[in-house]
Structure 1
Amino acid sequence: MARLIATFGYIGHLRPASGTWASLAAVLIGLAVFQTGHGWLIPVMALLATLTGFWAVPLYLGADRSADPSEVVIDEVAGQWIAMSFTAIPLWNHGLEMGLISGAWPGWVAPFLLFRLYDITKPGLVGWADRRHDPVGVMLDDIIAGIFAGLTAMVLAGLYHGVLQPWLS
């Protein structure tokens, strides 16, 4: 069970860029859930992925607790859903659509791209958590990257809707 969770149903074994594949799978699942009218479930899924990740990752790593193998991607899934929550909840609260190619598509594209950027470049606190080299660090760097990505997506949306869009009108 720990292997199934840690690799997010074995998506972590996809190559290359297993973290990006996992993030993309998380976005697609998030979009599907949003389309059912239950956008509030995205942060719930983020919480569940985080909690199960904190349980599964140490078990999966076993004695090699300093490793962060590329197939462990539950941390990317949790971080991606955290990032997506920052845009999904406001869109859901306002009854707006967040579709794959229609509606408020920046509501998932921006969190996806920003999360991958923060996860790969590991700025500031993301890098600090990554350098822990333990199971907590495996999860924590992506949680922090997800928070950073979500906040950045909200700032960009605010700048667009509050400054740029009125100026262009």
Structure 2
Amino acid sequence: MTKTKFQLSRWQHMLALGFGAGLAPRAPGTFGTLVAIPFVIALAALGLVWYLVFLLAGTVLGIYICGKTARDVGEHDHGAIVWDEIIGYALTMLLVPVSVQSLLIGFLLFRFFDILKPWPIRWLDRRIHGGLGIMLDDLMAAVPAWLILQLLLYYQLLS
């Protein structure tokens, strides 16, 4: 059996692997999502415009770097590729006031939907390949997580 060869010296691999977090021996997606927390905190402090710029640029960049890294190692959506989790969690936390509670609940909701992949997420994941497919399933997992967070905020169940 051959071992997947990532090259952290290549900027595309470094970003796609969440600065190395994706190389965690267990639960690389969870570790990749943890990397997103400082980004979310900093972006929330910078304001909505910068947050949206990050999401848009991070998504476009992610399509490229995730696709390139997957091609370089010869495996579609290798578990170590976690840039999609970083952007997915950032989308989950869009317009959510930052607190320990909101970060934790957003984290758990995003991971739940990312792991479970309910319809149509799983359907998309199986049909759309390349960098777009890698990014899209996590962006789609962020949508129900974001909606639940917004409902919790609306009903004042989240501080």
TM band (smaller chain): 0.7 to 0.9
Q: Which has the larger radius of gyration?
A: 1
Equivalenced residues, count: 146
Partner of 2:152: 156
CA deviation profile, 1:9-45 (whole Å, cap 9, x unmatched)? 22211221111111111013322443xx314233332
Q: Report the CA distance between 1:60 and its aligned residue.
A: 1.3
2:47, 2:100 → 1: CA distance?
14
Q: Is the 8 A contact 2:18 2:35 kept in 1?
A: no
Q: Report the CA distance between 1:82 and its aligned residue.
A: 0.4
Structure 1: give runs of 5+ residues left out of the alignment. Answer: 92-97, 99-103
CA deviation profile, 1:50-80 (whole Å, cap 9, x unmatched)? 1111111221122777622111001101100
Partner of 1:27: 37
CA RMSD of aligned residues (A): 2.2
Partner of 1:109: 104
Q: Is the 8 A contact 1:6 1:74 kept in 2?
A: yes
Quote the sequence identity (%): 29
2:76, 2:144 → 1: CA distance?
24
Q: Report the CA distance between 1:117 and its aligned residue.
A: 0.4
* Structure-to-structure mapping, 1:1-169, within 5 angstroms: 1-34=11-44, 37-40=45-48, 41-62=50-71, 67-87=76-96, 91=97, 98=98, 104-132=99-127, 134-135=129-130, 136-159=132-155, 161=156
Q: Is the 8 A contact 1:111 1:150 kept in 2?
A: yes
Q: Is the 8 A contact 1:6 1:60 kept in 2?
A: yes
Give the structure-2-normalised TM-score.
0.80
Q: Is the 8 A contact 2:93 2:106 kept in 1?
A: yes
2:119, 2:70 → 1: CA distance?
25
2:63, 2:140 → 1: CA distance?
14
2:58, 2:25 → 1: CA distance?
22
